[in-house]
Amino acid sequence: MKITNKMKLPRAFVEMARSDYEYKPRRYSVTSLLKSTREAILERRHHKEIEQDVSDMIWLLFGRAAHSILENQSEGDYEIKEAGLQVQFGDYTLSGRFDLYDDKSKTISDYKVCSVWKVIYGNFDDWRRQLLIYAYMMKTIGFEVNKGEVVAIMRDHSKRDAKYKNDYPKLPVKRIKFKFSKKDFLEIEKWLEMRFEEIEVAEQLDDDDLPLCTPEERFNSGDTFAVMRKGRKTALRVLGSMDEAREWMKANSGDYIDVRPSEDKKCVDYCRVCEFCNYYKEQIKLLNKEVS
């Protein structure tokens, strides 16, 4: 990856932003398998061309700093910290690195720096899947694991909101716990096999033919339908489908329905490989046409 430094931040920022991760043929990390196939393959194919400014990586650096401080503390004799794992899936190698394994409680843990909103919304499926994969890998090499835990450090936690809002996390750190059953391990094994099959097919395809990311992977929650009244700027009600909006308007009031197209938030704001993705380029062209 090419690191730029448009704000001319001190050299230490640039050094911290560098990654020494090496892509190897037929070796995929847990984090890359958790991405969409298109993103994972484009990232691998174009990693030397991807450009990112260090000022845009501040929260990533913050996460790395927190990890680095925690990993430098000494562990108990029943703990294993920051260990790298590798498990074979046919011709492919799955690699991963977890933050802590506790042999007493048989728990695998990961430290995550996140937004307070992640904790408020409470959708931890991605974290659960990541920990379950680490647990599966540990089990494969002979360790007993039946629990996972994310220690979530909320970088934007507000003491004031914690004091006055009922559903706001009271402290800037939260332990999110998961239990893993035999069924979970069987399911994740199937899921990993399926992912490697998808990857094997995708590796043969050109960039533009890679399977398109799903709306969920593009952070696109779908169009919404606003029931409007003439002369009023704000909607009377916003609904998830045209039928619901029509029914609501019939039963209540309103003059017309405004269709609000949903945005592919990930493509526009968060995808590092967007410059190499034909879907993104076509979407941007469409947007530019609509604006002009």
Contact positions vs ligand SF4 (CB under 6 A): 36, 38-39, 42, 213, 218, 264, 266-267, 271, 273-274, 277, 279-280
Backbone Cα Rg of the chain: 23
Structure tokens at 200: 């094997």
* Nearer to ligand SF4 (CB atom), residue 45 or residue 81: 45
Closest by CA to 235, choosing from 261, 259, 251, is 259
8 Å CB contact between 98 and 81: no
Phi (first) and psi of residue 144, to 5 degrees: -90, 130
Angle at 148 between CA 62 and CA 179, to 5 degrees: 145
* Nearer to ligand SF4 (CB atom), residue 40 or residue 137: 40
* Nearer to ligand SF4 (CB atom), residue 37 or residue 109: 37
**CB of 278: closest distance to ligand SF4 in angstroms?**
8
**CB of 164: closest distance to ligand SF4 in angstroms?**
37
**CB of 107: closest distance to ligand SF4 in angstroms?**
33
8 Å CB contact between 123 and 131: no
Helix H or strand E segment including 12: helix 11-17
E strands of the chain, at which residues? Answer: 2-4, 27-29, 51-53, 79-89, 92-102, 107-114, 147-154, 173-179, 224-228, 237-239, 256-260
* Nearer to ligand SF4 (CB atom), residue 15 or residue 275: 275
Structure tokens at 47: 């990693």
CA distances from 27 to 30, 151, 272 (A): 10, 28, 20
Structure tokens at 102: 């506790």
**CB of 277: closest distance to ligand SF4 in angstroms?**
3
**CB of 221: closest distance to ligand SF4 in angstroms?**
14
**CB of 183: closest distance to ligand SF4 in angstroms?**
31
In a 3-state reduction of DSSP, which class is residue 235? Answer: coil
Amino acid occupying residue 23: Y
**CB of 205: closest distance to ligand SF4 in angstroms?**
13
* Nearer to ligand SF4 (CB atom), residue 176 or residue 271: 271
Give the HSE-up count for residue 159: Cα atoms under 13 Å, Cβ half-sphere: 0
**CB of 210: closest distance to ligand SF4 in angstroms?**
8
